[in-house]
A and B are shown apart, each in its own frame.
Chain A
């Protein structure tokens, strides 16, 4: 039995996708979380001064998407063939870009400016992307982003849009009913539902 230790802040953040992959496949792992003040203690031990880091039998792997992809591939959530795996990679890269787009907004200290930045981000970046993804979902026809069954790509979209829906209301996905249905479907998967209900409640 491989021993997994996932090391990150006590946040959802960049580790949540890996956690969702492990939870969905019901893989036992050590969900190691530390508070922000403790970061200097752990930073030097990471390969590139960043977290999350996944230790696989003690061997470190860095970079959030690499970690989640490795786990997805090891545990059957990556796609059924090379092409599907690449399709899934593509969607996760899109979410990675969206997460990157939220960074300047999160760090903005002026609350009014922050609100304005967020509205612009929703209008100029998120909504056009949602329309494209809706088209791809309709084209794929299975209800899932890739192939005929769930992949880590679906978990990535759930991970990004579910908290957003909680904050801003479910109506933000009303113009993309297929994506809205997918996010709801993932949220209702028993092991995901149970994990979300019991995970630490954190701002990010």
Chain B
């Protein structure tokens, strides 16, 4: 599939119908005068793993199926970048742990060098593939929204970890009625102020993907859409992300190949 990244790998050769078409083509590239014979345009697609494309390996547990690695996956899929989506069973963790920089996953290997911390990984990929914002200020705004989601992910941990089902239900209800409801009001205000349908600037950034991953992939799936009833702009944003061709393709594949356990 030809996408923005692979376009840079296309070599367009103009070759006369001669015995050595490639040489003539290269001569043309070098700026020599075209021959008199008719030319045909040939498009070569080079191997996507040629020198300018890094080899990415994303390592995470196989459960949770999305967890702290999903934002990086969404960015890579949206950008159409190939990567190895490694998911290992928890039984293998003691062997893998010492090889990580800080004893944690996800980690991203980029041509063998290792980067840790989920948001750092996501930001690195977003910046590399045009999903980070168009200037320093927009990049900072996108960072800010991603940090919000990180806080919300952390805030969901105590109810998630609660073993008593009655207490857990109570904690989740409080979480939705207070933490989530308050944030939804504030984010709706920001979306209204920005007035482009996106969180940052006038185009998709990883901030939108982060909000989709949390509010739709996590909360909407778990609790339904009632909490979005007074947030039409946030609802429109997550629906917009959901419908992006690359996101849609990935989530459909992922949901069948790696269904969530709960």
Of B58-66, B119-127, B248-256, the one touching chain A: B119-127
B182 within 8 A of A: yes
Residue of A nearest to B190 (CB): A47
Within 8 Å by CB of B144, from A56, A66, A129, lies: A66
Q: Chain B residues near A94 (CB, 8 Å)?
A: 102, 116-117
Total residues of chain A contacting the partner, CB 8 A: 28
Contacting residues of chain A (52-95) with chain B, CB-CB under 8 angstroms: 56, 59, 61-63, 65-66, 69-70, 73-74, 82-83, 86-87, 89-90, 93-94
Q: Chain B residue with minimal CB distance to A135? A: B101
**B51 interfacial by beta-carbon distance below 8 Å:** no
Q: Are A49 and B102 in contact (CB under 8 A)?
A: no
Of chain A, the residue at the smallest CB distance from B141 is: A61
CA distance A90 to B122 in the complex (A): 11
Interface Cβ pair total, 8 Å cutoff: 69
Count of B residues near A, CB < 8 Å? 27
Q: B154 on the interface (CB 8 Å rule)?
A: yes
**For chain B, what secondary structure do more than half of its interface residues adopt (helix, strand, loop), or is it mixed?**
helix
Tell me which of B116, B141, B147 contacts A90 (CB under 8 A): B116
Report yes or no: A86 in contact with B140, Cβ–Cβ below 8 A: no
Interface string of B109-122 (1 = CB under 8 A from A): 01001011101100
In the complex, the answer to whether A70 meets B136 with C-beta atoms within 8 Å is yes
Q: Nearest chain-B residue to A93 (Cβ)?
A: B117
Within 8 A of A (CB), among B80-126: 101-103, 110, 113, 115-117, 119-120, 123-124
How distant is the Cα of A62 from the Cα of B186 in the complex, in angstroms? 13
- Residues in A neighbouring B147, C-beta threshold 8 A: 62-63, 65-66
B115 near A63 with CB under 8 A, answer no
Given known contacts A47-B186, A89-B123, A93-B117, A66 and B143 CB-to-CB distance under 8 angstroms: yes
* Min CB gap B116→A, angstroms: 5
Give the distance to chain B from A146, nearest Cβ to Cβ, in Å. 12
Q: Are B144 and A90 in contact (CB under 8 A)?
A: no
B17 / chain A contacts, CB cutoff of 8 Å? none
Say how far A48's CB is from chain B's closest CB, in angstroms: 5
Q: Mark A16-43, 1 if CB is under 8 A from B, else 0.
A: 0000000000000000000000000000
Contact A86 B124 (CB under 8 A): yes
Q: Which residues of B contact A61 (CB under 8 A)?
A: 140-141, 144
Query: Given A94-B117, A129-B102, A132-B103, do A63 and B144 touch, yes or no (CB 8 Å)?
Result: yes
Chain A residue at smallest Cβ distance from B193:
A47
Given contacts A70-B140, A82-B128, contact A49 B113 (CB under 8 A): no
A residues in contact with B27, CB < 8 Å? none
Distance of A48 Cα from B152 Cα, bound (Å): 12
CB distance from A57 to the nearest CB of B (A): 10
Q: Which of A124-156 contact B (CB under 8 A)?
A: 128-129, 132-133, 136
Q: A169 in the interface, Cβ–Cβ < 8 Å?
A: no
Residues of chain B within 8 A (CB-CB) of A100 are 154
Candidate in B143, B144, B186 with the most chain A CB atoms within 10 angstroms: B144
How far does the alpha carbon of A48 sit from the alpha carbon of B137 in the complex, in Å?
Answer: 18
Contact A48 B183 (CB under 8 A): yes
B148 at interface, CB cutoff 8 A: yes
What 14 new A-B contacts, CB under 8 Å, besides A48-B183, A69-B143? A47-B144, A48-B186, A56-B137, A62-B148, A63-B148, A65-B147, A70-B136, A70-B140, A70-B143, A74-B136, A86-B115, A89-B119, A132-B102, A136-B101
A-B interface, 8 closest residue pairs, ranked by CB to CB distance from nearest: A63-B147, A93-B117, A66-B143, A89-B120, A70-B140, A86-B124, A66-B144, A90-B120
B: residues with CB less than 8 A from A are 101-103, 110, 113, 115-117, 119-120, 123-124, 127-128, 136-137, 140-141, 143-144, 147-148, 154, 182-183, 186, 190
Residues of A within 8 A of B (CB): 47-49, 56, 59, 61-63, 65-66, 69-70, 73-74, 82-83, 86-87, 89-90, 93-94, 100, 128-129, 132-133, 136
